[in-house]
Chains A and B, each alone.
Chain A
Amino acid sequence: MSDQPLRGQVITSQLIASLAARTALETRGVLRLEPTIKGFLARLGPAALQNLLNPGSQNGTYKHDGVAATISDGTAHVHLDIATDIACTALTVAEAVQQRVRERISHTGVTPGRVDICILAIEPQSWKRPT
């Protein structure tokens, strides 16, 4: 007799958001994630303020500074607000982030959906992280 295998870890929107944020920050040319007022308010009181900002929204969106993730019907959608290094081409950086985030999401077993990137700032700061 063999034990029933345990099901794997439940993938939450928070986990996807964390994965996306980490992946973005590891991508060459990304300086940081940029908090927005919506994300900041959501952090102060996720449930109440989420409802305030999106009345009736109960879709399990997780928002933190500069990242929002939603899992719907087994598909994960991500929005990232980033600041990029002026030494890199912002659009190229964004596309690299998009591709890497989708790859990482697919490794979790969840289907990667839209990964929307917004470049909120471009600043002259040299890249320090080793590639």
Chain B
Amino acid sequence: MALEDIPRLGCGRSIDRIWATLNQPPTAHEAQCDQCQAARTRLKGLSEATRSLREGDLHNPALKPRPGVTNAILDVARAEVRRSKRILLHRTDNGTTEISEQALSSIIRFAATTIPGIHSRRCRIEIRSAADSLSGEDNPTGNSRTTTNAGPHLFVNLRVAAAAGIDIPRTVDALRREIGNAIPAGVGISAGTINITVEDLYDV
């Protein structure tokens, strides 16, 4: 015979069920049953006390976090969002090495600052991680430049604004070369494919 652990009133009603339906009108049975009515009355008192304590905690200044704590949490949270996704660079039995998209992007933006007449804008990086590269080996020529760790294959999509009057094809080629050198030097992986879109001109 199975033992039932659900607490019940003498009339057979589950106390849990009464608690769950406390905010609803009593059923026909509950409206007539003394035990159910007594239970509802007592549980309403408990419900009120619970609500009161909850409200009290919400508005208790002693329980509010200091502004510094809130700001610190938000700062870290914002930084986490900016870092975006993580890219697997290297995996051995000793552990993995990953890099955030933001860190990679900062290398690319820094390279762009060295090219006169170019203002970098949005930079998106699509990747095929080191793990994926191992399973489906392909080696598109793209703009890979140096011999470093094979790592992930990157697809860099950089949008820039160019100064009016510059030789755009030549400048963009220089930018591509700069990024192609900066990624292996700064990160230690091949640059992959670098797509650059000049989306705007600005007056010098």
Residue numbers of A with Cβ under 8 A of B are: 34-37, 40-41, 44, 78, 84, 86, 89-92, 94-95, 98-99, 102, 112, 114-124
| Residues in B whose Cβ lies below 8 Å from that of A121 | 83, 100, 102-103, 106
A89–B100 touching, CB < 8 Å: no
Assess whether A89 is in contact with B185, with CB atoms less than 8 Å apart.
yes
Contact of B22 with A by CB under 8 A: no
Q: What is the CB-to-nearest-CB distance from B126 to chain A, in angstroms, rounded to a whole number?
A: 18
Sort A-B residue pairs by CB-CB distance and give the 9 closest, nearest first.
Answer: A91-B188, A114-B95, A115-B95, A119-B99, A89-B188, A94-B97, A122-B103, A118-B98, A116-B95
Chain B residues packing against A (C-beta within 8 Å):
69, 72-73, 76-77, 79-80, 83, 86, 89-90, 93-100, 102-104, 106-107, 110, 148-149, 151, 184-189
Collect the chain B residues with CB atoms within 8 Å of residue A41's CB. 73
Q: Is the pair B187, A91 in contact by a Cβ cutoff of 8 Å?
A: yes
Contact of A36 among B80, B90, B102, B187 (CB under 8 A): B80
Residue of B nearest to A119 (CB): B99
Our pick among A78, A95, A98, A122 for the contact of B186 (Cβ within 8 Å) is A122
Q: How far is the CB of A52 from chain B (nearest CB, A)?
A: 14
CA A120 to CA B98, docked complex, whole Å: 8
**Distance, CA A102 to CA B187, complexed state (A):** 22
Q: Which residues of B contact A120 (CB under 8 A)?
A: 83, 100, 102-103
Q: Which residues of A have CB within 8 Å of B99?
A: 90, 118-119
